Chains A and B, each alone.
Chain A
């Protein structure tokens, strides 16, 4: 790691001020992606602003037909939450498959979606469930939040404070892990919501995206067969040692089919 200053604000306001006063600062939440990145010397922030100690950022509540999860909530706490397991079991299941147990004790929801790693799990849930992302300055719709590889709609210094996941009728997440890293090589989150069926795909492309042909087919019939024969174009998909674009495209269909079958 390069040298940096370590700052630990007590409030979001203080965090924002520190950010404005520290040239090229970065927010540190759980650190499970940021610290490995710094260790590889792939980033050189002047300061790390640790928002892990800010009171009130973590917590899970049920409100107005939604599960509202504080941005500082650790993956493991989402995975074992009785409320999440009852209302959106697919979300608890997803959280229980991020990284490994030690990573889940540190990593946070807010950190994951703000980083928007193309192979991260959470963005698929946020997008498929049509969640609202509340920040220090506004509320952003899921459809507007993920803008590209490692890019989001967040402005400089803007911090995610909580995410509100509307409770769906049915949902499931199917992940095909990269055999080496165990990140999602393809992850498909399928949700049948009041507003329609939403299918979000992570890992396959440069950014989480919705598979609209599948959504249309599932809107007509929410059955595995409805998507089983939908061919996904490999054109824009990732290709690497572990999976070519063609294979990933095939897996999107298989994972979608299996997610629909598993949806509860």
Chain B
């Protein structure tokens, strides 16, 4: 008997092609006769287009076509949509402005699409685009959420007065207000959650192709969810009916949310392929990615927490303004609402929580889900204010948390979520051990002797992922269900093909899904193929985001159960036994208690020959599918602790230790889970210390439009992490697993900033902790103590 394959650190099946340069990314695909698109983008943050003259470009060398918003409108191609309707507290639906794929009369951010030039080469398309004449009437711009609602702020969309998309609320307001009547302590904090630019290493790309013979389109695209792309482009944008539109998302070089959304470029390339009669290919240059990929976060928040004299949390009140950018991206509206407000109870038994969120338009790139999506914003807020409460109450931050942990499950929070399982103390204790919490005071003193400031910060986080029960999200305004599907095909010679609606762009599905199959049927991993990312092969699926692989994997388990049940019925006939007596052991179907058996491949062949069972009772073949709608979110939780050392002379902050202890329930492949934690934490540290998407407040120009100014985490910016796992199985799925993809990015930023503020001895501090900001913060405390 070999070691169980499920739960083992199996090396990835997909790696061979990637390490040998044989991956197939969208830009690696060339279609016969393809032409190349270049998008003319607005150089201005806000302007009326007085006139647009494309004639010179049309006759330029190598040009196949030049298309504008008027051409789109003439063909009745609809605008881009936001698929989640949020209602304001007064009951009115959100106020969304139109979002044409190519601007018609107004541009609203730098990078907004104006026209597409299609030519024989990318360089010729760009050469020709320079010949397009645009006459702009410049308008003032607003870029930050705190300024967007001002009476003097420029209005972006007539539909949304004061640039306000919605004013949303969640929680028990009355109880919350009561909690603030006369508490022993009130802790207040103003926070900014900095704008981030996702920067998957593979830039977005699209190839549209039209087949004149069949009237069908094919779109090759860098997508995390090809079926959703097809659905939206068909049902809402009107490119073609679904059966005449194939969407292929081949190997995708990272997504982090940014490749969930349906973008202008892929719509235009698909539509244009018919217009120009050639496949149309577009690959973003990185500077275009900076301008036009949906950005993440960008909140300003004021929050207060009420506590009693002993440090018991009584109530939590929050007011947030969320920047949506110039248009509502595909899922933008859900991020600062149901993915944010619902997590504001944290790991704590908080009796009263009330949150208000205003979502606003600004002259910036659209903001949508980025790794964590709403939950990092919630966690940053909760964990910063809890740490601040401990400081204000002069309590140990670990002990204040311990005092308030939820300890009985299921636990209903005041903000929708029903936590199904967890042990927050276990992960806290493990993290305290790994960081050597007891040794910290000595390390601080030792650092002081070297002229350095040491600080330590906690984050005991919870998140909700595995999106999501369809009826629940539907009742909250989602335009789609969030189940997942899988189809299992056993070949006559006994290999297994799995068709999943989940999409792998780094998560290792080709290995972990195969582990489930191999583990159940006892066949070698090499005999399992995982197929995803093509609407022509896979039945349907919602794609991968929101750490929802548990949903896709459960769908696979359900399909495998069906295959096994049918296989046992067939085996019973072949082995002349009762189906109830057939057991599956080590890859063999056996009659229990006898030596009669069929190897998996023998069973498969029998299923397809149909010689030995009544095919009028049992259909020949061995292929089953399942759709699985999750019963609840999954609730990964844990404790991250960061220890920093600051050079007070320069403000340079070094992370000297970072501990991440997470409870992901049952783990299928610990190597892959650990890799997800590493990557998530790196992005969280990036947000806390390095990354910041900045627009010039006057001109609306993106000041961080390349790696020259947007600080991507590099290898020498980051420490080696100490990673630990605790386990409370998730009761809501048969595998007992929880999502692990986003936890690192959700948990880590407050741990880092709590450590930085601890080292400096300061309360308010904005991410990212750049050297200058830290240096200034240190100086401000010096001036303060001098004044005292």
Chain B residues within an 8 Å CB radius of A41: 126
A61 at the interface (CB under 8 A from B): no
A217 to chain B, nearest CB (A): 19
Chain A residues within an 8 Å CB radius of B690: 179-180
Known: A1-B123, A179-B771, A247-B775. A241 touches B649 (CB 8 A): no
A18 at the interface (CB under 8 A from B): no
* From A176, A183, A242, A254, contact of B770 by CB (8 A): A242
Interface centre among A3, A41, A180 (most CB of B within 10 A): A180
B507 at the interface (CB under 8 A from A): no
Task: Decide if A181 touches B708 in the complex (CB within 8 Å).
Answer: yes
Tell me the total A-B contact number using a CB cutoff of 8 A.
43
B781 at the interface (CB under 8 A from A): no
Chain A residues within an 8 Å CB radius of B694: 241
Task: Decide if B772 touches A180 in the complex (CB within 8 Å).
Answer: no
Give the CA-CA distance A243 to B771 in the complex, in Å: 9
Chain B residues within an 8 Å CB radius of A180: 690, 704, 707-712
* From B123, B710, B772, contact of A244 by CB (8 A): B772
Chain A residues within an 8 Å CB radius of B775: 247, 250
A150 at the interface (CB under 8 A from B): no
Give the CA-CA distance A250 to B776 in the complex, in Å: 11
Chain A residues within an 8 Å CB radius of B649: 254
Binary flags per residue of B92-135, CB closer than 8 Å to A gives 1, else 0 = 00000000000000000000000000000001001100000000
B480 at the interface (CB under 8 A from A): no
Task: Decide if A179 touches B650 in the complex (CB within 8 Å).
Answer: no
Chain A residues within an 8 Å CB radius of B650: 176, 251, 254
Give the CA-CA distance A244 to B775 in the complex, in Å: 12
Give the CA-CA distance A176 to B692 in the complex, in Å: 20
B190 to chain A, nearest CB (A): 22
Give the CA-CA distance A41 to B287 in the complex, in Å: 13
* From A3, A179, A244, A247, contact of B711 by CB (8 A): A179
Chain B residues within an 8 Å CB radius of A181: 707-709
Give the CA-CA distance A234 to B703 in the complex, in Å: 22
Task: Decide if A179 touches B770 in the complex (CB within 8 Å).
Answer: yes
Which residues of chain A (160-177) have a CB below 8 Å from chain B? 176
Interface centre among B127, B692, B709, B712 (most CB of A within 10 A): B709
Which residues of chain A (1-17) have a CB below 8 Å from chain B? 1-3
B346 to chain A, nearest CB (A): 31
Which residues of chain B (628-654) have a CB below 8 Å from chain A? 649-650
Residue in A closest to B714 when the chains form the complex, CB atoms: A182
Residue in B closest to A250 when the chains form the complex, CB atoms: B775
* From A2, A241, A247, contact of B127 by CB (8 A): A2
Task: Decide if B772 touches A242 in the complex (CB within 8 Å).
Answer: yes
Residue in A closest to B285 when the chains form the complex, CB atoms: A39
Residue in A closest to B696 when the chains form the complex, CB atoms: A241
Number of interface residues of A (CB under 8 A): 18
Task: Decide if B707 touches A241 in the complex (CB within 8 Å).
Answer: no
Give the CA-CA distance A131 to B704 in the complex, in Å: 36
A186 to chain B, nearest CB (A): 10
Give the CA-CA distance A244 to B771 in the complex, in Å: 11
Which residues of chain B (327-382) have a CB below 8 Å from chain A? none
Give the CA-CA distance A243 to B704 in the complex, in Å: 14
Residue in B closest to A248 when the chains form the complex, CB atoms: B772
A35 to chain B, nearest CB (A): 14
B554 to chain A, nearest CB (A): 42
Which residues of chain A (243-260) have a CB below 8 Å from chain B? 243-244, 247, 250-251, 254
Task: Decide if B704 touches A241 in the complex (CB within 8 Å).
Answer: yes
Give the CA-CA distance A109 to B654 in the complex, in Å: 32
Give the CA-CA distance A40 to B717 in the complex, in Å: 27
A18 to chain B, nearest CB (A): 24
Which residues of chain A (173-220) have a CB below 8 Å from chain B? 176, 179-181, 183
Give the CA-CA distance A247 to B692 in the complex, in Å: 19
B717 to chain A, nearest CB (A): 8
Residue in A closest to B651 when the chains form the complex, CB atoms: A247
Give the CA-CA distance A1 to B126 in the complex, in Å: 9
Chain B residues within an 8 Å CB radius of A243: 771-772
Chain B residues within an 8 Å CB radius of A254: 649-650
Give the CA-CA distance A181 to B705 in the complex, in Å: 12
Chain B residues within an 8 Å CB radius of A250: 775
Binary flags per residue of B684-720, CB closer than 8 Å to A gives 1, else 0 = 0000001010100000000110011111100001000
Residue in B closest to A251 when the chains form the complex, CB atoms: B650
Residue in A closest to B709 when the chains form the complex, CB atoms: A180
Task: Decide if A241 touches B123 in the complex (CB within 8 Å).
Answer: no
Chain A residues within an 8 Å CB radius of B708: 180-181, 183
Residue in B closest to A40 when the chains form the complex, CB atoms: B287
Give the CA-CA distance A65 to B72 in the complex, in Å: 72
Give the CA-CA distance A180 to B694 in the complex, in Å: 13
Residue in A closest to B124 when the chains form the complex, CB atoms: A3
Interface centre among A176, A181, A244 (most CB of B within 10 A): A181
Give the CA-CA distance A41 to B123 in the complex, in Å: 11
Give the CA-CA distance A83 to B708 in the complex, in Å: 33
Chain B residues within an 8 Å CB radius of A241: 692, 694, 703-704, 709
Give the CA-CA distance A3 to B60 in the complex, in Å: 14
B397 to chain A, nearest CB (A): 29
Give the CA-CA distance A243 to B774 in the complex, in Å: 12
Chain B residues within an 8 Å CB radius of A183: 708
A82 to chain B, nearest CB (A): 26
B94 to chain A, nearest CB (A): 33
Give the CA-CA distance A244 to B776 in the complex, in Å: 11
Give the CA-CA distance A180 to B707 in the complex, in Å: 6
Residue in A closest to B772 when the chains form the complex, CB atoms: A247
Residue in A closest to B776 when the chains form the complex, CB atoms: A247
Give the CA-CA distance A254 to B775 in the complex, in Å: 12
Give the CA-CA distance A1 to B772 in the complex, in Å: 36
B672 to chain A, nearest CB (A): 29
Which residues of chain B (761-784) have a CB below 8 Å from chain A? 770-772, 775-776
Residue in A closest to B775 when the chains form the complex, CB atoms: A247
Chain A residues within an 8 Å CB radius of B772: 242-244, 247
Residue in B closest to A247 when the chains form the complex, CB atoms: B772
A184 to chain B, nearest CB (A): 13
Give the CA-CA distance A19 to B771 in the complex, in Å: 45
Give the CA-CA distance A242 to B126 in the complex, in Å: 32
Q: List 14 A-B contacts (CB under 8 A).
A: A3-B127, A176-B650, A176-B771, A179-B771, A180-B707, A180-B709, A180-B710, A181-B709, A241-B709, A242-B770, A242-B772, A243-B771, A254-B649, A254-B650
- Additional A-B contacts beyond A3-B127, A180-B690 (8; CB < 8 A): A179-B717, A180-B704, A180-B708, A181-B708, A241-B703, A243-B772, A244-B772, A250-B775
Q: Which 9 A-B pairs have the closest CB atoms?
A: A180-B711, A181-B708, A247-B772, A179-B711, A180-B709, A254-B649, A243-B772, A241-B703, A254-B650
